[in-house]
């Protein structure tokens, strides 16, 4: 590993006035580290001017020099200063192929070895006290899981925020196999624009046209969503990892090699897992916590990992949306949580009051609550059965949810046309466009005939739902493949219908994400639609509603319904699907809710 080069910029900064016990630090810019294959990665470092300190690491593809390093609210400059003043050295490194670091950027591929090399490099520094923690959100959280899979000594704790270890079905594709179109196209435009900017800055290119096209797509991503075939989006180009991801829609060996969730049983250190109910990775965040809590490699990892979930989306914790306000208490000081967590596990300073294992914001009552574990120990999974008189279409239809299983069989039908997909109205996705993300009043779309609404009677008692949600439904279609979407909605007394969580199942993946099977038109199948996770109290006067349809666009790509390779099909290749939801009698379609009786 290379030593500090003489060209490294250094400056001494005195932060003693901003926190009791603070010390003078040295700031070193663009400190190089050479990887095992000879690539120089660069980091900005804040370290004590004298002596040693425990080290906190951030590894980012979003520019270590940015004022808000990227990946969420926990990595702003004020947050970094708070951690420095808490007595930590902080190392923020551009990952391979991004901004100041050399090499080629390919998402996730080099993070295991590069993270391991960084740990080895830290062990050589005279200011390093032998203990390391890591923090950051989104991609920065994923790089923490890579550090936790290293066998290097020194790592004591990680704090992954708004992230997931499984990149296939917890991010780029859904739990039900559909492509997460908006985030995939938007993120690729963002990362390819960074590549172009880097190339121009280094004098490797003088052509601004690609950067201008990509910048325009970031500001107005709608053309990215509308263009088909998805695999031929000209603005994203060809020959890079975008092509690879679309070439592997199944959860095959390509994705399994990148699925670190399957290796969480190797993790020896505790994790402070933070997420948001409207974050696109919340399913993975909670599932990863459960994995380390139950299968972590050490008692320390299992007993001291923590989970914090607020009413947030991927990019902010402001908790204020046009259609739903969660109150001033919904915001959380994530930096203070990080300081407390790292003080305990890197410095051995136990908090005056033991931190709760689980801390969640319960929507509906809009209150924070501490829990002993996840799933909540008193969870009672309850079936809410779908029933209707055959006309559940729109919010004014006759679809109902009831606790008793209906004896009579009935069905409801909707038509899904890929040329007129149901628009996305809220949910856990990117980009953070108002009306597209978070809690949104469903009255903007629920009058369409391609939405089936199943609604409970008006509640006389509160009903709390906290946990993973799923729809078990009997379905048939006129085509060999199509999609089923499901959305949990809280209907307020004033008529507002606020989405809580949702999911989608690409029916070719009804039995396995790895081995797709086409359907026989007209045949009835029992399938499970995963609907992610939430926590909400449906108050008296409210109603519980399930919305079912065949699309959620552009959150997910449109199914062509042909059974072919969807990403390679143009709009004119796609066909209409008539889908039937069967319920009652021998087809007990039901919404399974984790009910908490308190």
User: Which tens digits make up the pLDDT trace of 297-355?
Assistant: 999 999 999 999 999 999 877 677 999 999 988 988 889 999 999 999 999 999 989 99
Position 235 scores a pLDDT of 72
For the stretch 346-394, pLDDT in tens is 999 999 899 999 999 999 999 999 999 999 999 999 999 999 999 999 9
- Which element (helix H / strand E) includes 244? helix 241-247
Residue 326, SS3 per DSSP = coil
| CA dihedral (398, 403, 405, 406) positive or negative | negative
Q: Which stretches within 86-130 are classed as H helix?
A: 111-122
Peptide bond into 8 cis (omega under 30): no
Model confidence at 3, pLDDT cuts 50, 70, 90, reads: very low
| CA dihedral (445, 446, 448, 449) positive or negative | positive
- 387 vs 173: CA distance, rounded Å: 31
Known catalytic residue: 279?
A: yes
549-563 mean pLDDT: 98
218-222 mean pLDDT: 88
Mean pLDDT, the chain, rounded, equals 92
Position 6 scores a pLDDT of 31
Position 238 scores a pLDDT of 62
Q: Which stretches within 132-208 are classed as H helix?
A: 139-148, 181-201
Of residues 540 and 17, the one with the higher pLDDT is 540
Position 223 scores a pLDDT of 85
Catalytic-labelled residue, pool 25, 188, 314, 345: 314
Catalytic-labelled residue, pool 138, 146, 150, 549: 138
Catalytic-labelled residue, pool 63, 114, 116, 279: 279
Q: Which of 451, 479, 508, 453 is nearest to 578 (CA)?
A: 479
For the stretch 458-494, pLDDT in tens is 999 999 999 999 999 999 999 999 999 999 999 999 9
Are the C-beta atoms of 135 and 144 separated by less than 8 Å?
Answer: yes
For the stretch 24-66, pLDDT in tens is 889 999 999 999 999 999 999 999 999 999 999 999 999 998 8
In this structure, the number of other CB atoms found within 10 A of the CB of residue 50 comes to 11
Indicate the pairing of strand 483-491 with strand 497-506: antiparallel
Known catalytic residue: 314?
A: yes
Model confidence at 79, pLDDT cuts 50, 70, 90, reads: confident
- Whether the pLDDT of residue 21 is over 60: the answer is no
Residue 273, SS3 per DSSP = strand
In this structure, the number of other CB atoms found within 10 A of the CB of residue 588 comes to 18
Position 75 scores a pLDDT of 65
Model confidence at 207, pLDDT cuts 50, 70, 90, reads: confident
Are the C-beta atoms of 546 and 449 separated by less than 8 Å?
Answer: no
Model confidence at 16, pLDDT cuts 50, 70, 90, reads: very low
- Whether the pLDDT of residue 548 is over 90: the answer is yes
Model confidence at 74, pLDDT cuts 50, 70, 90, reads: low
Three-state DSSP string of 480-549: CCCEEEEEEEEECCCCCEEEEEEEEEEHHHCCCCCCCCCCCCCCCEEEEEEEEEEEEEECCCCEEEEEEE
Position 5 scores a pLDDT of 34
DSSP code for 587: B
Are the C-beta atoms of 563 and 479 separated by less than 8 Å?
Answer: yes
Are the C-beta atoms of 523 and 479 separated by less than 8 Å?
Answer: no
């Amino acid at each position: 590993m290379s030593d500090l080069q003489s060209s490294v910029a250094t400056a001494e900064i005195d932060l003693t006035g901003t926190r009791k016990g603070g010390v003078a630090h040295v700031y070193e810019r663009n400190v190089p580290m050479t990887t095992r294959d000879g690539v120089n990665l660069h980091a900005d470092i804040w370290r004590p001017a004298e002596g040693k300190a425990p080290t906190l690491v951030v590894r980012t593809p979003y520019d270590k020099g940015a004022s808000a390093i990227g990946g969420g609210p926990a990595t702003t400059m004020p947050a970094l200063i708070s951690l420095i003043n808490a007595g930590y050295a902080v190392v923020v490194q551009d990952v391979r192929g991004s901004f100041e670091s050399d090499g080629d950027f390919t998402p996730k591929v080099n993070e295991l070895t590069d993270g391991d090399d960084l740990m080895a490099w830290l062990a050589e520094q005279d200011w390093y006290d032998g203990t390391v923690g890591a923090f950051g959100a989104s991609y920065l959280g994923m790089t923490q899981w890579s550090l936790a899979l290293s066998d290097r000594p020194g790592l004591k704790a990680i704090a992954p925020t708004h992230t997931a270890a499984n990149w296939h079905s917890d991010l780029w594709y859904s739990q039900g196999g559909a492509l997460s179109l908006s985030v995939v196209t938007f993120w690729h435009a963002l990362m390819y624009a960074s590549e172009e900017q880097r190339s121009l800055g280094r004098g490797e290119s003088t052509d601004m046209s690609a950067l201008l096209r990509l910048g325009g797509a970031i500001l107005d991503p709608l053309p990215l969503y509308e263009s088909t075939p998805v695999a031929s989006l000209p603005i994203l180009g060809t020959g890079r990892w975008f092509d690879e991801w679309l070439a592997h829609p199944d959860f095959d060996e390509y994705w399994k090699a990148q699925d670190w969730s399957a290796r969480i049983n190797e993790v020896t250190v505790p994790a402070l897992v933070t997420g948001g109910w409207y974050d696109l990775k919340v399913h993975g965040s909670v599932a990863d916590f459960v994995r380390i809590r139950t299968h972590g490699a050490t008692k320390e990892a299992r007993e001291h990992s923590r989970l914090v979930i607020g009413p947030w989306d991927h990019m902010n914790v402001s908790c204020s949306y046009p259609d739903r306000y969660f109150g001033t208490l919904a915001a959380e000081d994530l930096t203070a949580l990080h300081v407390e967590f790292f003080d305990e596990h890197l410095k051995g300073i136990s908090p005056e009051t033991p931190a709760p294992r689980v801390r969640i914001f319960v929507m509906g009552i809009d209150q924070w609550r501490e829990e002993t574990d996840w799933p909540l120990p008193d969870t009672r999974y309850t079936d809410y059965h779908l029933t209707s008189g055959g006309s559940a279409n729109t919010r004014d239809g006759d679809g109902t949810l009831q606790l008793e299983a209906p004896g009579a069989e009935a069905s409801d039908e909707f038509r899904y046309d890929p040329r007129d997909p149901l628009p996305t109205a809220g949910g856990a996705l990117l980009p953070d466009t108002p009306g597209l993300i978070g809690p949104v009043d469903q009255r903007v779309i629920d009058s369409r005939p391609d939405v089936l609404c199943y609604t409970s009677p008006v509640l006389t008692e509160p009903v709390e739902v906290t946990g993973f949600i799923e729809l078990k439904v009997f379905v048939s279609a006129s085509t060999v493949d199509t999609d089923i979407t499901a959305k949990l909605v809280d209907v307020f007394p004033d008529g507002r219908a606020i989405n809580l969580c949702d999911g989608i199942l690409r029916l070719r993946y009804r039995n396995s994400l790895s081995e797709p099977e086409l359907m026989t038109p007209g045949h009835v199948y029992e399938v499970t639609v995963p609907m992610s996770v939430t926590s909400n109290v449906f108050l008296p006067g409210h109603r519980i509603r399930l919305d079912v349809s065949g699309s959620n666009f552009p959150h997910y790509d449109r199914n062509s319904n042909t059974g072919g390779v969807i990403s390679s099909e143009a709009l004119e290749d796609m066909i209409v699907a008539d889908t039937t939801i069967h319920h009652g009698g021998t087809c007990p379609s039901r919404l399974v809710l984790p009910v908490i009786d308190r």
